[in-house]
Amino acid sequence: MEGLTFRRAAPADTERIAEIIFGEPRPEAIAGIGFGRVERVRAVGRAYVRMPGSPQGWQRTVVAELDGQAVGVLQAGSFREPFRITAPLAIQAIRIYGPLNVFRLLQAMRAQGRVQARRLPAEYHVSELHVHPEYRNRGIGAALMRYAEEEARRNGHRLMSLQTLTTNPARRLYERLGYRVVETLTDPGFERLTGAAGNHLMVKDLL
């Protein structure tokens, strides 16, 4: 896309990163960690992105810009870090969910862990790819994926990987870009919470 540029994120991008990732959460997230309330997903998402050293923080993020505005984010690399509860985040969770709902949140996290795909040798893993709703269907997501693949090649990787919900329509984008499903993990508890059977692990060989 003409005028689209990429750069490493900076601390000043933190709120925009949170807005792009969690501003319009998918129904599965609203049901699973929001317990039906979109405001909960946004609040806990913002807290997680703001958390120092967060896997979803600015240090791990590439920003796509159009006309000086951040319109998409990519988080990818030769690492995979699961969602984790730290003391500051636990305090935020109690404030957001209330003490009676924290146990339910932990149950949701355990269910999510049961549908996490295995790590593959020498993979370059795309953990987050999001485009602001106002800028979707313009090829920005595909451009971010190509950026990730170029970065992987520069670092000597020959395999891309990503994980996506079984209900996520973005799977069609990944397949158009050459990714294929190699494993599907399902869990009845996860499906009861989110409405999605589980996750697909998709990979692409880099030539």
Q: 85 falls in which pLDDT band (50, 70, 90)?
A: low
Q: Are 113 and 166 in contact (CB under 8 A)?
A: no
Alpha carbons 76 and 203: distance in angstroms, whole number: 14
| Average pLDDT across the chain, whole number | 91
Domain spanning 4-205, CATH class: alpha beta
Q: What was the pLDDT predicted at 97?
A: 81
State the average pLDDT over residues 158-186.
Answer: 97
- Average pLDDT on 138-150 reads 97
In our burial notation (b when 16+ CB lie closer than 10 A, e otherwise), range 43-65 reads bbbbbbbbbeebbbbbebbbbbe
Least confident segment among 56-65, 96-105, 160-169, 192-201: 96-105
Residue 93 has pLDDT above 90, yes or no: no
106 or 179: which carries more pLDDT confidence?
Answer: 179
Residue 29: pLDDT band by 50, 70, 90 thresholds?
Answer: very high
Q: What mean pLDDT comes out for the span 31-55?
A: 90
Domain ranges of the chain: 4-205
